[in-house]
């Protein structure tokens, strides 16, 4: 069934289990993906709905609470699902940088996650019509080569046993020579990669955080050592890997923690074999932050007095520069010639 | 606070008795019974009365931050489920086709059902037709969807709850007061357990929200001669310091001792504020 080295399926004992309710759009009731998912949760209350937005877009939802007892919505994506990359996201030097949204929200419950400010709901939406998204990508590929991030507004890897989208994306990439994709994850499972169709145009990007941050602020995600093991498994299975030190968080003792994290990464993985690295301090759209602060009165990470710049909130330039320079500098010391990317507004 | 709405007195009577609710003697458009932390209103039957009562009950509350609303009452449903209590997870207002989905975030062991709200009592064929071959029970009432629509102007979907017991299978037969009273007594234990779950959730919410000291904010604001924008920054900084254990007060005291504070004007106040913010937010 759903295997994982970590615990994104754990629920607070005060609340109902994850996916205690599954809302199913009438249009996808008989879809094979829907049926497969429903079969995994025989005890869930299946609530028929007309359109996913009737549930997902309700007013005044308690996103934090919903993350503690997340429900599932199965829907059909209508309209575009492929979008140009946002300025705060890194293009890694790719000209035609897009991201797509086949799943909205995430099994993990990271305290700083921008999705909590972006979406009106904490429930997970799975669009079962992935083939329509493939068609949309093919239309772009007819015009130019595409670099596509498929796991931005979610983490597809912990969902793989349920929906199999990672496998389907790998197959799709193998069939389309001018497509490269990034699958970003914080998942610690190691058993997946050897089973996937191999291609060097699928980059598995592992977001790494110091252990204390992972433990305190990334609930449901793998531990640092689990993620490093997973990255090694992906590499051994023949996939290029990217290590993302992003978002870096400013907490007391950050320098020591990030230095220790790099040491642990270097002990687990030959850094010279890593495709590239991304470094970035926490930043978020002004609007998303407002929304998160309304919801999360007790979350110190989002209440930091950020500096506002061009509609985005970030650490003061001096601090962000210090943090990014520190990490990039250490990385360069440990791995000569490391290819390090910073986001457009980055300071290092 | 928990606000309970019932359409009719016989539906409410067992709760009024069990919760020791006293009749509010003040003149109000809807009869109100209350005790510490609970207000029960009788809306009268029908969608308009229910929506009006919801607006009245919620509109008069000074604080809605931890308020939950419960609609308890009878509904027509499958004949073989008579007397059973259900928690509504989907509501349909049959006249407009509008749908509502309360968030069921309490771990209640009460079976769930869809509820369709009509302006008139549903007839027997309609109730039977909706339930014929249905995987989930479909109940028919005259209030739930309109209560939900009205309540959503005040509360989120996790704070609106619908508990419905099956009183009949629809049709013209009108229930006597005695029958309705006895039917509403049957699920009382489950309803009380559900209210306990709400209270537990309310306690959890209270634990997790740090208090905002408006008075301290005002005092500090005048100390720095804050503009509106700066007061907002001050509020964020104070909140962050409280959450992250930074000593804002100590920084202010130190500057009071050196005579930098109180600031003589807004410009000087901003300089001092920037200095404190920098010290607190960037000092490792």
Domains in chain B: ranges and CATH: 2-208 (3.40.50.1580), 214-282 (no CATH)
**Contacts of residue A221, Cβ cutoff 8 Å, sequence gap at least 6:** A6, A8, A108, A110, A155, A186, A187, A188, A214, A227
Tell me if A298 and B243 make a contact (CB, 8 A cut-off).
yes
* pLDDT on residue A89: 67
Closest residue of A to B284, CA-based?
A252
pLDDT at A5: 43
Weakest mean pLDDT among A45-54, A158-167, A212-221, B163-172: B163-172
- Give A303→chain B minimum CA distance, Å: 5
Dist CA B117 CA B121 (whole Å): 9
Q: Which of B87, B96, B103, B202 to mutate to test the interface with A (most CBs of A within 10 A)?
A: B103
3-class SS at A18? coil
pLDDT at A92: 73
User: Radius of gyration over alpha carbons of chain B, in Å?
Assistant: 26
When CB atoms are compared, the residue of B101, B104, B239 closest to A54 is: B101
Domain assignment present for A16: no
Q: What chain A residue is nearest to B204 in terms of C-alpha separation?
A: A14
Confidence bin at B171 (pLDDT 50/70/90) = confident
Mean pLDDT over the full length of chain B: 93
pLDDT at B173: 64
Identify the closest residue of chain A to B108 by CA–CA distance. A16
Give helix B9-18 / helix B188-208 axis angle, nearest 10°: 60
What is d(CA A156, CA B266) in angstroms, rounded to the nearest whole number?
A: 51
Contacts of B237 in chain A (CB under 8 A): 305
Write a three-state SS string for B75-112.
Answer: EECCHHHCCCEEEEEEEEECCCCCEECCCCCCCCCCCE
Residue with tokens 């920037």: B274
Cβ contact A59–B239 (<8 Å): no
Q: Which candidate from B156, B210, B239 shows the least CB-CB separation from A61?
A: B156
What was the pLDDT predicted at A6? 54
Does residue A76 sit within a domain?
A: yes
Instruction: With CB atoms and an 8 Å threshold, state whether A16 touches B107.
Output: yes
- Position B172 pLDDT exceeds 70: no
Q: Is residue A5 part of a domain?
A: no
If one counts the domains in chain A, the total is: 1
- Domain boundaries, position A308: 21-342
A219 Rama sector, left if φ>0, alpha if ψ -120 to 50, beta otherwise: beta
What CATH number does residue A310 fall under? 3.80.30.30
Partners of B208 on chain A (C-beta within 8 Å) are 297-298
> Looking at residues A40-57, what average pLDDT do you find?
97
pLDDT digits (tens, 9 = 90+) for A139-176: 999 999 999 999 989 999 999 999 999 999 999 999 99
pLDDT for B67-98, tens place per residue? 999 999 999 999 999 999 999 999 999 999 99
Q: Tell me: cis bond preceding A333? Omega within 30 of 0 counts.
A: no
Comparing CB atoms, the residue among B89, B103, B281 nearest residue A45 is B89
In a domain, A2, yes or no: no
Q: Answer whether residue A135 is part of any domain.
A: yes
Q: Report CB contact under 8 Å: A69, B204.
A: no
| pLDDT tens, residue by residue, B200-215 | 999 888 776 566 678 8
Token couple for A323: 């943090």
Which residue is closest to A61 within chain B, CA to CA?
Answer: B156
Nearest CA-CA partner of A324 in A269, A280, A290 = A280
Cross-chain residue pair B282–A59, CB shorter than 8 Å:
no
User: What is the value of pTM for the model shown?
Assistant: 0.93
* pLDDT given at position A2: 43
pLDDT at residue B65 in the model: 85
pLDDT of residue A1: 42
Q: Which residue in B103, B239, B284 is closest to A303 by CB distance?
A: B239
Q: Looking at the partner chain, which of B101, B210, B284 has a beta carbon nearest the beta carbon of A298?
A: B210
Lowest mean pLDDT among A6-10, B84-88, B270-274: A6-10
CA A77 – CA A52 distance, rounded (Å): 9
Residue A13, pLDDT score: 72
- Of the two residues A169 and B245, the one the predictor is more confident about is A169
pLDDT, tens only, B123-162: 999 999 999 988 899 999 999 999 999 999 999 999 999 9
What local confidence, expressed as pLDDT, does residue A346 receive?
Answer: 54
A87 within a domain of the structure (yes/no)? yes
Tokens 């009577």, residue located: B13
Alpha helices of chain B — where are they, by DSSP H? 9-18, 47-59, 124-131, 144-151, 177-185, 188-208, 214-223, 228-244, 248-257, 266-282
Q: What is the DSSP letter of B226?
A: -
b/e per residue, B9-41, with b = 16+ CB within 10 A?
ebbbbbbbeebebeeeeeeeebbbbbeeebbbb
Q: Do B158 and A62 touch (CB under 8 A)?
A: yes
For residue A307, count other CB atoms closer than 10 A to its CB: 16
Q: Do B89 and A299 touch (CB under 8 A)?
A: no
Which residue of A lies nearest to B235 if distances are taken between CA atoms?
A305
pLDDT of residue B208: 63
pLDDT of A344 reads: 65
pLDDT number for residue A87: 66
Put simply, the answer to whether B152 touches A50 (Cβ < 8 Å) is: no
A296 inside domain: yes
Could you read off the pLDDT of B216-243 as tens digits, one per residue? 899 999 999 999 999 999 999 999 999 9
Interval A72-106: pLDDT, tens? 999 999 989 999 987 666 667 778 899 999 999 99
At how many degrees (to 10) do helices B214-223 and B228-244 cross? 120
């Amino acid at each position: 069934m759903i295997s994982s080295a970590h615990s994104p399926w754990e629920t607070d004992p005060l609340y109902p289990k994850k996916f205690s309710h599954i809302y199913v759009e009438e249009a996808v009731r008989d879809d094979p993906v829907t049926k497969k998912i429903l079969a995994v949760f025989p005890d869930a209350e299946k609530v028929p709905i007309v359109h996913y937005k009737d549930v997902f877009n309700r007013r005044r939802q308690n996103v934090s609470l919903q993350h503690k007892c997340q429900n599932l919505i199965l829907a059909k994506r209508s309209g575009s699902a492929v979008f140009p990359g946002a300025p705060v996201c890194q293009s890694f030097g790719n000209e035609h940088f897009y991201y797509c949204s086949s799943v909205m929200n995430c099994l993990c419950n990271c305290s700083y996650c921008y999705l909590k400010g972006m979406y009106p709901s904490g429930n997970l939406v799975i669009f079962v019509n992935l083939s329509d998204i493939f068609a949309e990508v093919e239309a772009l590929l007819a015009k130019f080569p595409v670099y596509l991030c498929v796991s931005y507004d979610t983490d597809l890897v912990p969902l793989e046993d349920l929906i199999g989208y990672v496998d389907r994306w790998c197959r799709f990439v193998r069939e389309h020579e001018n497509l490269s994709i990034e699958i970003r994850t914080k998942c610690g499972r190691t058993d997946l990669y050897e089973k996937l169709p191999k291609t060097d145009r699928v980059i598995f990007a592992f977001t790494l955080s110091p252990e204390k941050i992972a433990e305190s602020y990334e609930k449901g995600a793998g531990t640092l050592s689990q993620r490093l093991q997973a990255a090694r498994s992906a590499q051994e299975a023949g996939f290029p890997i990217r290590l993302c030190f992003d978002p870096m968080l400013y907490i007391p003792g950050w320098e020591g923690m990030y230095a220790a994290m790099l040491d642990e990464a270097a002990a687990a993985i030959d850094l010279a074999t890593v495709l590239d690295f991304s470094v970035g301090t926490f930043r978020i759209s002004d609007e998303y932050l407002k929304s998160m602060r309304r919801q999360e009165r007790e979350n110190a990470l989002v209440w930091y007095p950020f500096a506002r710049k061009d509609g985005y909130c970030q650490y003061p330039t001096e601090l962000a520069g210090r943090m990014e320079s520190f990490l990039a500098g250490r990385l360069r010391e440990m791995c000569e010639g490391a290819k390090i990317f910073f986001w457009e507004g980055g300071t290092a | 606070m928990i606000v309970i709405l019932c359409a009719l007195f016989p539906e409410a009577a067992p709760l009024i008795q069990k919760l020791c609710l006293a009749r509010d003697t003040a003149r109000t458009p809807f009869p109100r019974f209350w005790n510490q932390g609970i207000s029960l209103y009788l809306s009268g039957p029908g969608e308009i009365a229910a929506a009006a009562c919801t607006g009245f009950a919620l509109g008069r509350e000074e604080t809605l931050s931890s308020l939950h609303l419960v609609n308890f009452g009878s509904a027509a449903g499958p004949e073989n489920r008579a007397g059973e209590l259900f928690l509504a997870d989907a509501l349909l207002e049959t006249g407009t086709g509008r749908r509502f989905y309360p968030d069921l975030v309490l771990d209640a062991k009460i079976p769930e059902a869809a509820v369709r709200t009509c302006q008139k009592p549903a007839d027997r064929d309609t109730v039977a037709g909706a339930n014929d071959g249905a995987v989930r029970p479909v109940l028919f009432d005259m209030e739930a969807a309109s209560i939900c629509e009205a309540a959503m102007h005040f509360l989120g979907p996790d704070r609106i709850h619908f508990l419905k017991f099956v009183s009949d299978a629809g049709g013209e037969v009108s229930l006597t007061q005695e029958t309705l009273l006895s039917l509403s007594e049957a699920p009382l234990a489950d309803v009380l357990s559900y209210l306990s779950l709400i209270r537990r959730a309310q306690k959890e919410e209270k634990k997790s929200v740090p208090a905002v000291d408006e008075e301290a904010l005002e005092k500090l604001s005048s100390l720095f001669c804050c503009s509106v924008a700066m007061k907002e920054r001050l509020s964020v900084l104070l909140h962050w310091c409280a959450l992250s254990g930074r000593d804002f007060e100590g920084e202010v005291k130190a500057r009071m001792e050196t005579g930098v504070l109180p600031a003589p004007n807004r410009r000087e106040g901003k300089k001092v504020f920037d200095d404190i913010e920098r010290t607190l937010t960037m000092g490792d």
